[in-house]
Amino acid sequence: MLNGPNLNLLGTREPALYGRATLADIERRLADVGRELGVEVECAQHNGEGELVTAVQQLRGRADGALVNAGAYSHTSLAIRDAFAAAEVPFVEVHLTNIYAREPERRHSMLAPGARAVLCGFGAAGYELALRGLVAALRGDG
């Protein structure tokens, strides 16, 4: 699971919009779900676009899939989408909020055309749903 800018502030950053769950809470829940599904989950958060690109490139050959919430970079970064294409790692794009119900500049994702799926609007639970869906898809069940 890769998280982008400002997601390290979850729980305190605009809780009315993003909820009270912290990134550590989400990571713990994903680890639990990973154990339930029999998969290993690694988590990272980077505020810089280049750091995210490097993290995606490092998935090549060592990860079967990824969840990514690139934050604001979701709406602007061809570089992150290109990194996923180069790494040949299927991914699910995750957003805590429904980006299609927000400001116009947030209603378009540069990552979505390369994603296996996009899940948005379910808050912290969206990460769990995305992990379950990705694992099912990779196993041929979804």
Round to whole Å and give the CA distance between 75 and 68. Answer: 13
Paired residues of 93 in beta bridges = 68, 118
Confirm whether 95 is a catalytic residue. yes
Confirm whether 46 is a catalytic residue. no
Q: Which residues contact 62 (CB under 8 A, 6 or more apart)?
A: none
Active-site residue, from 18, 46, 73, 127: 18
Active-site residue, from 73, 95, 100, 108: 95
Round to whole Å and give the CA distance between 17 and 89. Answer: 30
Residues serving a catalytic function are 18, 95
